[in-house]
Structure 1
Amino acid sequence: MSDVLLEFDNVSVRYAGAIAALHGVSLKVHKGEIVALLGANGAGKTTLLKAASNLLPAERGQITGGHILFRGRDVTGSSPHDHIRKGLVPVLEGRRLFRSLTIEENLITGAVGRGLRRAAIADGLEQVYTLFPRLRDRRLSVAGLTSGGEQQMAAIGRGLMARPDLFVLDEPSMGLAPLVVAEIFDALTRLNTETGLTILVAEQNSSVALRHAHHATVIENGRSTLSGRASDLAARDDIKASYLGGHAA
């Protein structure tokens, strides 16, 4: 059997039937990998991730060419909720927590979405608190009153509570201090190493993404312009200068 968990095959997307956002993007995410999707703001990264979760129709978006396959099946054949139950769990840009609920209540909503029972929820909470110790200390705090870093950790933790097989994250470093970014990516790498969790992460911060990913694809103006091993891309000064911008972690 193929170990390809998610495949984008020559994918094109339009919004409102007129605005072209993606033009023939292709990439594969193999089981057990961390794959980074790199590019500037507006390059098409978020659109690609939303297409993978079948979230585009809510924004009048449509796949107009190519296919996206999750475990060999077209993603448009299942609702976003069904994808979560099947193990494709997105963490969207902007954290999107329930600001009036506590951190722990937000985490539990992730488990409820997957239909987990009390024992599984308790196990999930322990995993998240072990991964992000500061959330244990802040578990009873109202989410809207916590720091940006704590909110991002809670958003990631909520996704983990749904027991993903493929974890899809959109710009987890956005607006965060470098030390917090390093903490989050170290946690994601630890999850990948210890549990085999497959991760697809879209990032503008190329330096930190390439340091933690196995493979990377660069998107520019809606097109996939470059793909390869992350370590190879990180070592090439010409590639960093042309495509990756040289962000510091």
Structure 2
Amino acid sequence: MSDIVLEFDRVSAAYSGAIAALHGVSLTLRAGDFAALLGANGAGKTTLLKAASNLLPAERGRITGGQILYRGEDVTRASPDAHIRKGLVPVLEGRRLFRSLSIEENLLTGAHGKGLGRAATARGLEQVYALFPRLAQRRHAVAGLTSGGEQQMAAIGRGLMAVPEVFVLDEPSMGLAPLVVAEIFEALSRLNRETGLTILLAEQNSAIALSHAHHATVIENGRSVLAGPAAELRQRPDIQASYLGGQVAPA
């Protein structure tokens, strides 16, 4: 049996029937992969990730060519909430927490969306708090009054409460201090390494992404222009300068 879990096959997409956002992007994600989708703001990364969870129709967008398969099934044939129940869990850009609820109440919404029982929910909370001890300390704090880093950790934790098999994150480093970004990426790497969680994330911060991912695909103007092992891409300043805004990852 193939170990391919998420496959983007020459995917094109547009908004409002006319505004083209993607042009034939291909990407294959295998079980246990940690893959990065890199590119500048507006390159099409967010559109591709939303397409994977069938979220484009909510923004008057649609796939106009190619297809996306999750475990061999066309993603457009299932609703976003059905994808979560099947294990394809997104963490969207902008955190999108329930700001008036506490950190822990936000985490619990992830378990409720999955339909987990009390024991599984308790295990999920234990995992999230072990991964992000800061959230354990702030569990009763109102989410809207916590720091940007704490909110991002909570958004990731809420996704983990849904017990993902494939975890899709959009710009997890956006607007955060370098030390917080490092903490979040270390946590994601630990999850991938210790539990085998398959991760696909979109990032403008190529240095941090290439330091943790196994593979990377670069998107420019809605097209995939480069793909390969992250370790190799890190060593090529020409690639960094041409496609990633000159961010050169340290060796």
Q: TM-score range by the shorter chain?
A: over 0.9
Runs of 4+ in 1 over 4 A off after TM superposition: none
Contact 1:206–1:246, Cα closer than 8 Å, also in 2: no
Q: Residues 5-53 of structure 1, C-alpha deviation per residue, up to 9 Å, x if partnerless? A: 1000000001000000000000101110100000000000000000000
Q: Which amino acid aligns with 1:138?
A: R
Q: Which residue of 1 aligns with 2:50?
A: 50
Give matches, 1:1-249, under 5 Å: 1-247=1-247
Q: Residues 119-170 of structure 1, C-alpha deviation per residue, up to 9 Å, x if partnerless? A: 1111000000000000000000000000000000000000000000000000
RMSD: 0.8
Q: CA deviation at 1:244?
A: 1.6
SS in 2 for 1:152: helix
Structure 2: distance between partners of 1:218 and 1:166: 20
Q: CA deviation at 1:237?
A: 1.1
| Percent identity of equivalent pairs | 78
Contact 2:11–2:25, Cα closer than 8 Å, also in 1: yes
Contact 2:237–2:248, Cα closer than 8 Å, also in 1: no
67-76 or 238-247, which deviates more:
238-247
Contact 2:89–2:164, Cα closer than 8 Å, also in 1: yes
Structure 2: distance between partners of 1:24 and 1:94: 27
- 5+ long unaligned stretches in structure 2: none
Structure 2: distance between partners of 1:30 and 1:202: 17
TM-score (norm 1): 0.99
Contact 1:208–1:248, Cα closer than 8 Å, also in 2: no
SS in 2 for 1:140: coil
Structure 2: distance between partners of 1:216 and 1:47: 17
Contact 2:240–2:247, Cα closer than 8 Å, also in 1: no
Task: Kindly tell me the number of residue pairs found equivalent between the two proteins.
Answer: 249
TM-score (norm 2): 0.98
Contact 1:207–1:246, Cα closer than 8 Å, also in 2: no
